[in-house]
C-alpha cells in the first residue's frame, strides 16, 4: 500500500483541502492537521471507513504481488466515472454508516499515481524511441484517447464537487482553497539549442564546404553583424513575450531561457561558449528583459545522468548565479529514476515532462506536481512542471504533422484546459523556429497563442471586475494610455 505521507500528498494534490481561515492566515497548515481532520480516507477496512466523510476504496494496484506486474496495468477500454476515464477501481459509489460516509469505488488515487509517477514508463522499459524516450503515442493516455485532457485535475474537480454538494467540510472546520478558472502561472520558455546558424571559423567552413554557400556571403554571415544571422530571432520574440508579461497580472508570466553547456555528443552541437561576445550580448539582452535562466541538460547527460551536476556547476560559474531549473535536450530525460540525479545535482524544478511526438498532458495534470519514484513509491521534493506543448511537436510530419489551422485549434484547446483547471501553462518555442527559412508558420502560431492567452485573461477579468473592463474600453476609445489588466 501507500505510505501515509504519499497518501496524504495525493489527496491534498487532488482536492486542495485547507484548514480553517484563521489557521491559514497563521501559516500553520500541515499534513498532520489534514490527516487528523478525517475528511477523506483511502481504506478497505469497514471500521476505518466510518471515521471519514468520503472514502476512496483502494483497488488492488498497490497490493503485494500486483504492483510491478501485468496485473497492475489498466485494461482497455477504460471504464468511465462521472464522464472521466478511470484507470483502476469501479465506477460506482455507495453511502454507508447511516448515510454519513460516501464510499467511492473509483480508485482515483491509484489512477493519479500511475500517471504522475510515470509508472507506465518504469514498467514498459523495453519501449523506447531512437533517443531512448518513451513514445507519447505508445502511452496509455494517447491509446485511450485522453492525452488532450488533464484527467487527474478532472478527478480533483469531481471530488471537490462531492465535498461541497454534500456539505462535508463545515463539520470539520475546513474550507476549500479557491481554484479560479485562470492560469496559476504562465511560463514562456525557450531552449537555446542553436543561438546562431553561422558564427566563427568552423561555421564558415561548414557554410562553404557543406552548405554550398558563396565564400564571400559565408564570410559576412559568419563574421558580420549578429542581426544578419537568420537564427538570431531573439529581439522580436522577446518583445512579444514582454507585451504579454505587461498585459497579464504582475508575477503571472515569466520568460525562461534554458542554456546548454559544452558536451561531447554530436547531437549537442553547436557547443557555444557563454563568455564569447555573441553570447555575452545575447545574455545581456535576456537579463534586460527580466528573463529567468535554467540549465538545458545535454543529450549526453540524458545518456549519463551523472553529468548533470557537473554541467550545473559549469553553468553557474559562467553566469555567476545559482541555477535551480532544468529541461533536458530533446526532452530525453529517459528513465523515471534519472530524476533523482537531477535533485542530487541541485535542480529543484524540471520542465521536461512533455512527449516529443504528441502534445498533451504526459503526467495527467496541468499543475506542478512533486516527483514520485515509482520504483520505491517514495515522494521527493523535485517539482515537475508539465510541458503543455512544444513547437516542433505540432508541425513535424513524424510527430503530429498538423497544418497551421489544425495546430491553432489543438493548441488553443490545450491552453483553455490549463486555464480551466487553474494550471500552469508551459510553452516551448526554439529561437530558430521563428526563422521563415526553418518553418513557414511557427511565428504565426506562436503569436496566435499569445493572443489566446490575452483573451483568456480578458475573459477572466470580465468575470472578476466588469467595471475595470468598461473603464479600459472607455479610456481606449478616448485615446487614453494602455491599461495593463
Q: What is the mean pLDDT of the chain?
A: 91
Q: Residue 26: what pLDDT? A: 42
First-to-final CA distance of the chain: 47
Q: What is the pLDDT of residues 463-476, one digit of tens each?
A: 766 665 565 555 45
Model pTM? Answer: 0.91
Q: Which of 357, 222, 349, 341 is nearest to 278 (CA)?
A: 222
52 in Cβ contact with 38 (< 8 Å): yes
Q: Hey, which residues does 81 pair with through a beta bridge?
A: 84
Confidence category of residue 214, pLDDT binned at 50, 70, 90: confident
**Domain limits of the chain?**
4-176, 185-191+233-450, 197-230
Confidence check: pLDDT of 277 > 80: yes
Strand segments (E) across 165-206: 174-176, 185-192
Q: What is the pLDDT of residues 96-153, one digit of tens each?
A: 999 999 999 999 999 999 999 999 999 999 999 999 999 999 999 999 999 999 999 9
Residue with the bigger pLDDT between 437 and 351: it is 351
Confidence check: pLDDT of 30 > 50: no
CATH topology of domain 185-191+233-450: TIM Barrel (3.20.20)
- Greatest CA separation for the chain: 88
Q: Which sign does the torsion angle of CA 56, 60, 63, 69 carry?
A: negative
Question: Would you give the DSSP letter of residue 322?
Answer: -
* Residue matched to cell numbers 490527516: 35
Confidence check: pLDDT of 72 > 90: yes
Q: Residue 21: what pLDDT? A: 44
CA distances from 196 to 75, 111, 336, 351 (A): 48, 44, 33, 23
In the predicted model, what is the mean pLDDT of residues 63-69? Answer: 96
Q: Hey, which residues does 379 pair with through a beta bridge?
A: 372
Q: Which sign does the torsion angle of CA 192, 317, 368, 175 carry?
A: negative
Q: What is the pLDDT of residues 297-339, one digit of tens each?
A: 999 999 999 999 999 999 999 999 999 999 999 999 999 999 9
Confidence category of residue 477, pLDDT binned at 50, 70, 90: low
- Please state which of the ranges 84-88, 273-277, 288-292 shows the lowest mean pLDDT: 273-277
Q: Residue 28: what pLDDT? A: 40
- Please state which of the ranges 40-44, 137-141, 196-200, 413-417 shows the lowest mean pLDDT: 196-200
**Pairwise CA distance, residues 449 & 441, whole Å:** 12
Count Cβ atoms below 10 Å from residue 92 Cβ, excluding itself.
Answer: 12
In the predicted model, what is the mean pLDDT of residues 269-275? Answer: 92
Amino acid at each position: 500500500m501507500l505510505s501515509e505521507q504519499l497518501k496524504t500528498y495525493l489527496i491534498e494534490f487532488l482536492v486542495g483541502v485547507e484548514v480553517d481561515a484563521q489557521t491559514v492566515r497563521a501559516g500553520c497548515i500541515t499534513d498532520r492537521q489534514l490527516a487528523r481532520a478525517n475528511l477523506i480516507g483511502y481504506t478497505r477496512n469497514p471500521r476505518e471507513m466510518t471515521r471519514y466523510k468520503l472514502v476512496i476504496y483502494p483497488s488492488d494496484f498497490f497490493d503485494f504481488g500486483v504492483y510491478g506486474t501485468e496485473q497492475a496495468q489498466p485494461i482497455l477500454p477504460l471504464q468511465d466515472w462521472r464522464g472521466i476515464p478511470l484507470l483502476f477501481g469501479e465506477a460506482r459509489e455507495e453511502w454507508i454508516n447511516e448515510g454519513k460516509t460516501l464510499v467511492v469505488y473509483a480508485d482515483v488515487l491509484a489512477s493519479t499515481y500511475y500517471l504522475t509517477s510515470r509508472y507506465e514508463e518504469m514498467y514498459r522499459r523495453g519501449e523506447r524511441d531512437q533517443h531512448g524516450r518513451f513514445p507519447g503515442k505508445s502511452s496509455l493516455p494517447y491509446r485511450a484517447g485522453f492525452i488532450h485532457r488533464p484527467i487527474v485535475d478532472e478527478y480533483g474537480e469531481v471530488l471537490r464537487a462531492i465535498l461541497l454538494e454534500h456539505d462535508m467540510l463545515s463539520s470539520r472546520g475546513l474550507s476549500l482553497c479557491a481554484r479560479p478558472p485562470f492560469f496559476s502561472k504562465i511560463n514562456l520558455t525557450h531552449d537555446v539549442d542553436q543561438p546562431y546558424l553561422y558564427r566563427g571559423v568552423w561555421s564558415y567552413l561548414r557554410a562553404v564546404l557543406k552548405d554550398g554557400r558563396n565564400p564571400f556571403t559565408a564570410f559576412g554571415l559568419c563574421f558580420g553583424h549578429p542581426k544578419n544571422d537568420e537564427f538570431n530571432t531573439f529581439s522580436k520574440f522577446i518583445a512579444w513575450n514582454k507585451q504579454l508579461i505587461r498585459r497579464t497580472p504582475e508575477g503571472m508570466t515569466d520568460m525562461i531561457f534554458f542554456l546548454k553547456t559544452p558536451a561531447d555528443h554530436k547531437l549537442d552541437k553547436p557547443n557555444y561558449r557563454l563568455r564569447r561576445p555573441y553570447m555575452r550580448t545575447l545574455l545581456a539582452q535576456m537579463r534586460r528583459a527580466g528573463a529567468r535562466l535554467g540549465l538545458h541538460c545535454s543529450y549526453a547527460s540524458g545518456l549519463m545522468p551523472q553529468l548533470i551536476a557537473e554541467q550545473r556547476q559549469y553553468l553557474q560559474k559562467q553566469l555567476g548565479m545559482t541555477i535551480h531549473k532544468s529541461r533536458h535536450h530533446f526532452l530525453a530525460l529517459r528513465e523515471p529514476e534519472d530524476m533523482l540525479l537531477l535533485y542530487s545535482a541541485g535542480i529543484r524544478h524540471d520542465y521536461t515532462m512533455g512527449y516529443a511526438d504528441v502534445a498533451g498532458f504526459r503526467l495527467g495534470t496541468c499543475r506542478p506536481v512533486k516527483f514520485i519514484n515509482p520504483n520505491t513509491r517514495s515522494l521527493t521534493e523535485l517539482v515537475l512542471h508539465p510541458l503543455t506543448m512544444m513547437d516542433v511537436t505540432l508541425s513535424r510530419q513524424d510527430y503530429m504533422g498538423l497544418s497551421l489551422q489544425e495546430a491553432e485549434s489543438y493548441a488553443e484547446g490545450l491552453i483553455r484546459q490549463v486555464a480551466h483547471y487553474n494550471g500552469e501553462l508551459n510553452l516551448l518555442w526554439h529561437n530558430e523556429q521563428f526563422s521563415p527559412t526553418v518553418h513557414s508558420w511557427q511565428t504565426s502560431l506562436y503569436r496566435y497563442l499569445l493572443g489566446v492567452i490575452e483573451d483568456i485573461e480578458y475573459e477572466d477579468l470580465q468575470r472578476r471586475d466588469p467595471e475595470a473592463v468598461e473603464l479600459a474600453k472607455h479610456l481606449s476609445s478616448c485615446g487614453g494610455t494602455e491599461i495593463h489588466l
